[in-house]
């Protein structure tokens, strides 16, 4: 029996701008085959939790320091995902590395957005403004964003979508970060959620 909509969970750590892009894409019909059913944060003060509550989405906070270690941290997240019967997991600024056990358990069900054109400026240590600082230091003329499947290697999974963004001579890391978000991340992440959700419900 086909499902009506794929059940999506979004894992967050901070402001939740990518989460907001997904919520907005649901409202304006870009995402038609998926629905965010759960937002999980690993930081109690993540503003993304407020965004989720404002949209009427159930939230959960899982703090590693309260779990006693990585295994318990991941078990708590996995239990919530299974309880909500989640089909697709989106990492949207989720600042925690997930183990091979966890990613293997949800193989090809976890996606992430990274603010560069992988394989450039990616992997361990490349996150947030660091990515844009590295791109500017290298003098690239084009950067962008990538949505990819998640495995145990940081930014190492198969690429789903990419979008290029121009770099200008007087860019700062902050200016470039905002342009990459507006022109690439906030477009290709919802597009990937819709594409994969449609595939899930067709199975």
Query: What would the pLDDT profile of 143-197 be if each residue is shown by its tens digit?
Result: 999 999 999 888 899 999 999 999 999 999 999 999 999 999 999 999 999 999 9
pLDDT of residue 2: 54
Domain holding 50: CATH number? 3.40.50.170
Of 16-20, 59-63, 96-100, the one with minimum mean pLDDT is 96-100
Give the residue numbers spanning the domain of 144.
Answer: 6-202
pLDDT > 80? residue 119: yes
Question: Helix axis angle, 47-54 relative to 17-27, nearest 10°?
Answer: 10
End-to-end Cα separation, the chain, in angstroms: 9
Identify whether 1 is part of a domain: no
pLDDT > 90? residue 27: yes
pTM: predicted TM-score of the whole model, two decimal places: 0.94
Name the domain count of the chain. Answer: 1
84 counts as catalytic:
no
Catalytically annotated residue among 114, 132, 148, 170: 114
How far apart CA 40 and CA 46 sit, in angstroms, is 10
Identify whether 93 is part of a domain: yes
């Amino acid at each position: 029996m086909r499902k009506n909509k794929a059940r999506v969970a979004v894992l967050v750590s901070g402001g939740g701008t990518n989460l907001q892009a997904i919520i907005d894409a649901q409202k304006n019909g870009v995402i038609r085959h998926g629905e965010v059913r759960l937002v999980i944060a690993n930081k109690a003060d993540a503003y993304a939790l407020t965004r989720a509550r404002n949209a009427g989405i159930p939230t959960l906070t899982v703090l590693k320091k309260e779990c006693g270690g990585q295994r318990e941290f991941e078990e708590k997240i996995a239990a919530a995902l299974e309880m909500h019967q989640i089909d697709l997991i989106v990492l949207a600024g989720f600042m925690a590395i997930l183990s091979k056990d966890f990613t293997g358990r949800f193989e090809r069900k976890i996606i992430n957005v990274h603010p560069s054109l992988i394989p450039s400026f990616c992997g361990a240590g490349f996150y947030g403004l660091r990515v844009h600082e590295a791109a500017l230091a290298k003098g690239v003329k084009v950067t962008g964003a990538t949505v990819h499947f998640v495995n145990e290697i940081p930014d190492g999974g198969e690429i789903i979508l990419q979008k290029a963004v121009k770099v200008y001579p007087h860019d700062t890391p902050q200016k470039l970060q905002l342009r990459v978000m507006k022109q690439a991340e906030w477009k290709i992440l919802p597009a990937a959620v819709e594409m994969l959700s449609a595939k899930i419900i067709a199975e």
